[in-house]
Amino acid sequence: MIRLWWAQVRAVVRLEMKKTFFARRGLWIYILALLPLLLFLGHNFQISRQHAKLQRLASQSERLLSSEDLLSVQPGMTGQDVVARLGKPPQRFHWNDQVQSGNDSFVNIPHESYRYSDGRVDLWVDLAGDKVTNVNLRGGENLGEDTIVFAGVFQFFYLRLAIFFGCLGIFMNLFRGEILDKSLHFYFLAPIRREVLMVGKFVAGLLATCVIFVTSELLQIVVFTANYSPNVRDLYLYHNHGLGAAAAYLGVTILACVGYGAFFLAAGMLFRNPILPAAGILIWEAVNPFLPTLLQKFSVIYYLKALCPVDIPTPPGTPALLALLVSNSDPVSSPVAILGVVTVALLVLYVSSLQVRRMEINYTSE
Amino acid sequence: MSNPVISPSNDKIVFQDVSKFYGEILGVNRVNLSIPQGVTSLVGPNGSGKTTLMNLMTGLVRPTRGRVQVLEYTPDEPEKLFAILGYSTQFDSFPKGLTGFQFVSSYLRLAGNDARTAEKLAWRAIERVNLVEAASRSVASYSKGMRQRIRLAQALCRNPRVLVLDEPLNGLDPLARAEMIALFRAVAAEGRYVIISSHILHEVDAISDQVILLSNGYVVAEGQIHSVRNEIQEHPAQILIRCTRPREFASKLLENEQTIEVRIHNDERGLLVKTRDPDRFYLMLNHMAMNGIEIESVAPADDDVNSVYEYLIGNEEVVR
């Protein structure tokens, strides 16, 4: 019997995959999945242009500079000291400021700016009257800040919007789309248990969403890490839990597809208009942090948030409501979180299996 | 017609006090049926409940009240029911992007067949409906008749014991109609159950072993056409007699108490006789023939679905 069900599930998946991947009405899902990738690609493009500029600047220096050389410049030093340490600046700007010294007299104060680079970091040294007044280091690799930005994009755009609406588009159409196309009877006329049909459709939806969103997430991670020099990348991936974080992001993506997929599969069977359940689930997930602890557990985001590898800090002065949304006040352990998502999904799928058994073909009322 | 008392049976398709309402709209009401093996036609105008009965039989809709049983299975168990039943629906839509062959073979794969068996059975069914040449084309490019035939192939592909066909001759050309009618008869001759809905009465006459007449969601008659006709007491039976001297013969017939009305045929070579007791009338004819009256042929003139339908349901939109 199990072998028969498995063969039938595969038959359903085969039929569904083509429809799911190449449906014209699903084009927006690809765009949604690729948006963060485009964001990171754009960021990389901008960074690489900046690097190229700095490389050019570094090559124009009198000598090869290291980051230690750049860091050695301190306020209070004279221009000659700076030139002695870093050589003649490849870019130099100068101007005069007139400062009133008495009632009618003005004094000219010469200002200069030296610009140096080691190829990655941009150093601006401001001098007034031959004294260093300001040292400004720009660029370089700020892994800590970047990982928080990545986590923010993942949690607040990718997870809560892209995957959420992507699952809505794919899973709700598994039954609802067939009803609108008036082709659901094709499945209902086959000697297949309705529950097996439902599982087949769910697996097809899961495969499609996982391929789309996991691939996008993987590419985001590749593009994100490609930004760094090989040394920094190795340090991040192999010595700073980078690989673990990447695996966690991919795992959370898969679990999000499982959880939201189950909800939207059920919604596609229960509701004619997808906007209502989508809005309901979106609001339920959004207000989750403000709900009593028991109710929080009946959502997907509660468990997914606990599985996200990087916590997003709330800067001082953040409004309390926003801080509550960002923070994870009652985190659960990873095994509990994984079990939680799977249990919620199974519960919803069980309800769907009862519904699919009762479904009728009545296209005229749709 | 009085409703028969039905006991659950494993060799019949049974409807027991079945009603179906779509909201407040009546689909069928208080249907009691026991459909035996052979070709059974559901006859009635649009909206009479033919498709609803078929959808109830196949579990596509569920009864509001009552129960349906198809041989040993109920429609609540599609995994078992469709192992013995094939249904060619009137829904003219197909899963997107499939060729005719893929449409049938995908159905077979859904049933759990391996690729090789599915391919073999699909081609066999496609051959039966004469669609081999177009099988590799997308269903979206098919004509109405071709779509009808590929649906028939899908219904036939597993060689089911019960074949349910909703308006199966719609869209077919005359040659294809004749082929399909022959096919349905052949399937029935193998001891299978063929349920056909139609509103084209002369075709129903040619196909059916028994008919179920429907009107406004109610079954108004069921059974073999001849016995249904015999039960309609208020309309006298009409008999067409071909003979050489119709006027002389008419006067003799009118002397007989079984004869209600005699009309001489337009071509002056026959009579149309009305009688309330056809059995005694035929006996009387035999006597007359033995006493030297020349009779070329005798045939019932209203013992067909057309007449039965007109007597019971009236002049609704049915093609004759």
With an 8 Å Cβ cutoff, are B107 and A182 in contact? no
Q: What is the pLDDT of residue B8?
A: 52
Beta bridge mates, A232: none
Residues of A in contact with B62 (CB under 8 A): 358, 360
Domains of chain B listed by start with CATH number: 13-230 (3.40.50.300), 236-301 (3.30.70.920)
Q: Taking Cα atoms as reference points, which of B71, B55, B73, B72 lies closest to residue B18?
A: B55
Q: Taking Cα atoms as reference points, which of B63, B61, B58, B76 lies closest to residue B17?
A: B63
- Residue in A12, A18, A185 nearest the CB of B110: A12
Residues of B in contact with A181 (CB under 8 A): 93, 96
CA–CA min distance B264, chain A (Å): 52
Q: Within 13 Å, how many C-alpha atoms sit on residue B254's CB side? A: 12
The whole-angstrom separation of Cα B264 and Cα B270 is 6
The tokens for A251 are 């795992």
With an 8 Å Cβ cutoff, are A7 and B95 in contact? no
**CA torsion, points A168, A173, A174, A175, in degrees to nearest 10?**
120
Q: Do residues A225 and B145 touch, judged by C-beta distance below 8 A?
A: no
In DSSP notation, A258-320 reads HHHHHHHHHHHHH-S-THHHHHHHHHHHHTGGGS-HHHHTTSSHHHHHHH-SSPPPPPTT--H
With an 8 Å Cβ cutoff, are B61 and A360 in contact? yes
With an 8 Å Cβ cutoff, are A11 and B110 in contact? yes
> % helix / strand / coil in chain A, to the nearest 5?
65, 10, 20
The whole-angstrom separation of Cα B90 and Cα B168 is 8
> Architecture of A61-139 per CATH?
2-Layer Sandwich (3.30)
Q: Do residues A307 and A337 touch, judged by C-beta distance below 8 A?
A: yes
Count CB atoms within 10 A of the CB of residue A224.
25
3-state SS class at A149: helix
With an 8 Å Cβ cutoff, are A191 and B112 in contact? yes
* Cα A26 to Cα A173, A212, B97, distances in angstroms: 10, 11, 16
The tokens for A101 are 């010294």
Domain with CATH 3.30.1450.10 in chain A: 61-139
With an 8 Å Cβ cutoff, are B59 and A188 in contact? yes
Whose structure tokens read 């026991």? B34
The tokens for A29 are 């899902």
B108: nearest CA partner in chain A: A190
The whole-angstrom separation of Cα A335 and Cα A303 is 10
Q: What is the pLDDT of residue A167?
A: 94
A71-124 pLDDT, tens digit per residue, is 888 899 998 898 988 888 888 898 888 887 777 778 888 899 999 988 888 899
With an 8 Å Cβ cutoff, are A191 and B79 in contact? yes
The whole-angstrom separation of Cα B239 and Cα B272 is 6
Q: Do residues A309 and A236 touch, judged by C-beta distance below 8 A?
A: no
Strand order in the sheet with B85-88: B85-88, B162-166, B193-198, B38-43, B210-215, B218-223
**Cα R_g (chain B), whole angstroms:** 23
The whole-angstrom separation of Cα A223 and Cα B146 is 52
The residues near A330 (Cβ < 8 Å, ≥ 6 apart) are A293, A296
Q: Do residues A334 and B33 touch, judged by C-beta distance below 8 A?
A: no
Q: Do residues A265 and A20 touch, judged by C-beta distance below 8 A?
A: no
Q: What is the pLDDT of residue B51?
A: 93
- Residue in A191, A194, A362 nearest the CB of B111: A191
A6: nearest CA partner in chain B: B112
Q: What is the pLDDT of residue B2?
A: 41
The whole-angstrom separation of Cα B301 and Cα A106 is 129
Q: B74, B110, B165, B166: which to substitute to probe chain A, counting the most A Cβ within 10 Å?
A: B110
Count CB atoms within 10 A of the CB of residue A216.
22
Q: B21, B62, B68, B79: which to substitute to probe chain A, counting the most A Cβ within 10 Å?
A: B79
pLDDT in tens, chain A (366 residues): 888 999 999 999 999 988 888 877 788 999 999 999 999 999 888 888 888 888 888 888 888 888 888 888 889 999 889 898 888 888 889 888 888 777 777 888 889 999 998 888 889 999 988 899 999 987 766 777 888 889 999 988 999 899 999 999 999 989 998 998 899 999 999 999 999 999 999 999 999 999 999 999 999 999 988 878 788 888 888 877 888 999 999 999 999 999 999 999 999 988 888 788 888 988 888 888 888 888 888 888 889 988 988 887 777 777 766 666 666 666 788 899 999 999 999 999 999 999 999 999 988 765
Q: How much is the pTM?
A: 0.81
With an 8 Å Cβ cutoff, are A7 and B109 in contact? yes
Q: Do residues B100 and B139 touch, judged by C-beta distance below 8 A?
A: yes
Q: What is the pLDDT of residue A345?
A: 94
Number of A/B CB contacts below 8 angstroms equals: 88
3-state SS class at B89: coil
The tokens for A169 are 């588009």
In chain A, at which residue ranges do the beta strands (DSSP E only) sit?
91-100, 106-117, 121-128, 131-139
CA–CA min distance B205, chain A (Å): 28
Q: Which of residues 65-104 of B touch A (CB under 8 A)?
A: 76, 78-83, 87, 89, 91, 93-97
A361: nearest CA partner in chain B: B60
Helix axis angle for A275-286 and A164-181, nearest 10°, is 160
The whole-angstrom separation of Cα A28 and Cα A18 is 16
Residues of A in contact with B94 (CB under 8 A): 183, 186
Which ipTM value was assigned to this complex?
Answer: 0.78
pLDDT in tens, chain B (320 residues): 444 444 456 789 999 999 999 888 889 999 999 999 999 999 888 888 999 999 999 999 999 999 999 999 999 999 999 999 999 998 989 998 899 999 999 999 999 999 999 999 999 999 999 899 999 999 999 998 899 999 999 999 999 999 999 988 887 887 888 888 888 999 999 999 999 997 766 677 778 888 898 888 999 888 877 666 666 666 777 888 888 788 888 888 888 887 888 888 888 888 888 887 777 887 887 777 777 777 777 777 776 666 767 766 665 554 44
Beta bridge mates, B148: none
Question: For residue B2, what is the DSSP state?
Answer: P
